Chain A
Amino acid sequence: MAVDPLIELRDVNKHYGTLHVLRDINLTVGRGEVVVVIGPSGSGKSTLCRTINRLEPVESGTVLLDGRPLPAEGRALARLRAEVGMVFQSFNLFAHKTVLANVSLAQVKVRKRGKEEADRRSRELLERVGLLAHAEKYPAQLSGGQQQRVAIARALAMDPKALLFDEPTSALDPEMINEVLEVMQQLARDGMTMVVVTHEMGFARSAANRVVFMADGRIVEDRTPEEFFTAPESERAKDFLSKILKH
């Protein structure tokens, strides 16, 4: 695949106290690429995802977004963050605002759109994730799967260049996982650049351009899903796959 890099991590390192969570991470995500990050818990995959929009600052190395290094906390960083949407494991919808207001808030505050224009765009996006009927409800009145689809609409409302998914289906009941994955599949087909941390191997196989396998803070394998799932190279990946694919 011709690489037009959108997200680049170069020699990134990070510690939590004595725990070395990210060790010499090098990763390039091209425009339009879908990269799925998998690995055992505690392997650093969520941290990796969160360094891309600097919710987790790194200690050494650089993170480049569209060729520009991420600045320190402040207005410039806020502007760059608006270009990268993020979807969290625990949804994190604004609890005191309606679904519609959740999707519109940052459009008005960050993109400086008028309220009506923002609401119009929000309704389009809610329609797209199948939740227009719930626009006036509060997040607590929705199921987990519905909340996560609102969260995706909220991220899309900023017209981001890339979307980060941090275990988007891990807090969901099994029957709600699919409705979220379908939205994500559609985004992937539409050419959205995505970094997805997940345990959903089916999604990795069908939607990913590349699978990144992490263990103990390192990227152990970085290959196409086909190669990774049929013939993993490392012992660590073989062991991991044998454990999760047995049942």
Chain B
Amino acid sequence: MDVLIDNLSLYGEGLLGTIELTVYASLLALVLGFVMASFRVAPVGSLRVFGTVWVTVLRNTPLTLLFFAVMLGLPRFGIVLPFQLFAVLALGCYTSAFICEVLRSGINTVPTGQGEAARSLGMTFAQTLGDVVLPQAFRSVIPPVGSTLIALAKNSAIAGSFSVTELLGTYKPLNEMGYSIIWSFVWIAVGYLLVTLSISAVFNVLEKRWGIAR
């Protein structure tokens, strides 16, 4: 218990860092994932190819490698940003590939007749997707999107190795100060639980509110 009370501000900063990373990267992942999913079902071939390449590259690359690529690669092209922003970029882009695939599987659960009916009424591709298909797909993707964002929260720990303040990284100073490793980690784990269970709770509410009534 001492380790927590003595270092409350350290833990607090770490937890705040993790929450910030999670929230910003989630938003980026959701927006990019949505755009890429639209690309992958678009009637335009080049958009489909772009979406497929995006997903294939990002989903099949180790996240750590992606962090290296962003943190060390982008500055070579003159793009210098705070480390935290780099971390959000890496996490968000990586997770967007998973979100994209979750959304696409949701789109595939909507019967084709729904889209055909919309098109037969003269609705454009964007209207068909936005007003008819996605609102129905949204209901079935709430649970898997929740899981993906929980994975994102935990993946944010990698940012700690790249000088970004976040929860896991707090173990280093604590260890140096001579606190028990076990208890340092127990409290770190509790911090992550706080974040991930909050995400679960939000998605449970969303599911109750919007999920398909069976």
Residues of A within 8 A of B (CB): 53, 55, 73, 75, 78-86, 88, 90, 92-96, 105-106, 109-110, 151, 154-155, 158
Say whether A106 contacts B121, CB under 8 Å. Answer: yes
Please pick, from B119, B127, B132, B135, the residue contacting A55 in the complex, using a CB distance under 8 A.
B119
Known: A78-B119, A158-B121. A105 touches B114 (CB 8 A): no
What string of 1s and 0s marks CB contacts (under 8 Å) between B104-144 and chain A? 00000001011011111111110100011001100100000
Say whether B136 contacts A55, CB under 8 Å. Answer: no
Say whether A81 contacts B120, CB under 8 Å. Answer: yes
Shortest beta-carbon distance, A113 to chain B, in Å? 13
Shortest beta-carbon distance, A206 to chain B, in Å? 26
> Who on chain B is nearest to A73 by CB?
B43
Interface hits, B138-170 → A, CB 8 Å: 139
Residues of B within 8 A of A (CB): 43, 111, 113-114, 116-125, 127, 131-132, 135-136, 139
Known: A88-B113, A88-B116, A92-B114. A106 touches B122 (CB 8 A): yes
Known: A96-B136, A109-B127, A109-B131. A79 touches B117 (CB 8 A): no
Say whether A78 contacts B131, CB under 8 Å. Answer: no
Chain A residues within 8 Å of B111, by CB: 90, 92
Would you give 17 A-B contacts (Cβ < 8 Å), ordered by A?
A53-B120, A55-B116, A73-B43, A78-B122, A82-B121, A86-B117, A90-B113, A92-B111, A92-B113, A94-B118, A96-B139, A106-B121, A109-B123, A110-B121, A110-B122, A154-B117, A155-B121
Say whether A95 contacts B131, CB under 8 Å. Answer: no
A151 to B116 CA separation, bound complex (whole angstroms): 13
A11 to B127 CA separation, bound complex (whole angstroms): 33
> Who on chain A is nearest to B120 by CB?
A86
A75 to B43 CA separation, bound complex (whole angstroms): 12
Chain A residues within 8 Å of B131, by CB: 105, 109
A214 to B132 CA separation, bound complex (whole angstroms): 34
Known: A88-B113, A88-B117. A94 touches B132 (CB 8 A): yes
Most buried by A among B116, B117, B121: B121
A106 to B119 CA separation, bound complex (whole angstroms): 10
A95 to B132 CA separation, bound complex (whole angstroms): 9
Additional A-B contact list (12), CB under 8 Å, known A82-B121, A82-B122, A92-B116: A55-B120, A78-B122, A81-B122, A88-B116, A90-B111, A92-B111, A92-B113, A94-B118, A105-B131, A106-B123, A109-B127, A155-B121
> Who on chain B is nearest to A55 by CB?
B116
Chain A residues within 8 Å of B119, by CB: 55, 78, 81
A75 to B124 CA separation, bound complex (whole angstroms): 6
A83 to B120 CA separation, bound complex (whole angstroms): 9
Chain A residues within 8 Å of B116, by CB: 55, 88, 92
Say whether B114 contacts A95, CB under 8 Å. Answer: yes
Shortest beta-carbon distance, B107 to chain A, in Å? 14
Shortest beta-carbon distance, B209 to chain A, in Å? 13
Chain A residues within 8 Å of B114, by CB: 92, 94-95
> Who on chain B is nearest to A72 by CB?
B43
A84 to B139 CA separation, bound complex (whole angstroms): 31
Please pick, from B43, B118, B120, the residue contacting A85 in the complex, using a CB distance under 8 A.
B120
A78 to B119 CA separation, bound complex (whole angstroms): 7
